[in-house]
Amino acid sequence: MSMMEVHAREMELTSALKGSVDTKIGNVCNKLGKNLITSVHVVLKVHKHPTNEIHSQTTKKDSQVAEVTVHLKGGNVIHNVEKSNDMYVSIGAVAHKIAQSLKKEKQKMNDKKGNTPSNVLISQGMNTNDEDDEDFDESTLVDDPTKISQIFNINMDLVKQKSFDMPPITIEQAKSNLMLIDHDFYVFRNSVTNDINVIYKRKDNRGIGLISPEKK
């Protein structure tokens, strides 16, 4: 699809890998994302595991990571990451996740469509007339069937809500607070921007990440 960009980090983007991305992720986006997607960004990368200091060898195989960010009309974003020992398996698994996310997004739009005049939906770029979404079997995207049971095996019911005072603090203070709690993330109000930010521990002890709203 013309709106999809594919990049590789710490590895070569071979024609075979590009073809797998086009066939799996591109097919999902074309099939389920018509009139919905504005852009797709795919990053294929290798996460190298630390070397064993005694034997000068890595204790585990390097992870082959496929990361996909899908921007939707209306401002919503779908972001999924999958990793395995085989890049083709990772591509198939992340394509499966994207398909599931797009189906859920289309369902929400169709629910809204039932209560919104069609001319308003069209003006918002939200008119969906795809009749074959139900026939799309995303399980065929996954090269390793054992991963299917791991994908979306999450209870998405909202069962608890919290609210608390959030005085502005610095990023350094937020990092210190993150080390004191039993979570991988910490929500805070940035004292410099006054925006709500999220600071989080990256996987495999690869440092700290910061999420902040984009300035328009």
The 10s digit of each residue's pLDDT in 139-196 is: 555 555 555 445 445 566 788 888 878 899 999 999 988 888 878 899 999 999 999 9
pLDDT of residue 181: 81
Mind giving me the DSSP string for 14-59? -HHHHHHHIIIIIHHHHHH-TTTEEEEEEEEEEEPPPEETTTTEES
pLDDT of residue 47: 82
Q: Which amino acid is at 162?
A: K
Number of neighbouring beta carbons within 10 Å of residue 106: 19
| Domains, the chain | 4-150 (3.30.160.100), 171-211 (3.30.505.50)
List all residues 6 or more positions away from 76 whose beta carbon is below 8 Å from its beta carbon.
105
pLDDT of residue 118: 46
Rounded to an integer, what is the distance from CA 22 to the centroid of its chain? 17
Geometric angle at alpha carbon 109, from 37 and 69, rounded to 5°:
30
Q: Which amino acid is at 187?
A: V
Question: What is the distance between the alpha carbons of residues 95 and 33, in angstroms, rounded to a whole number?
Answer: 13
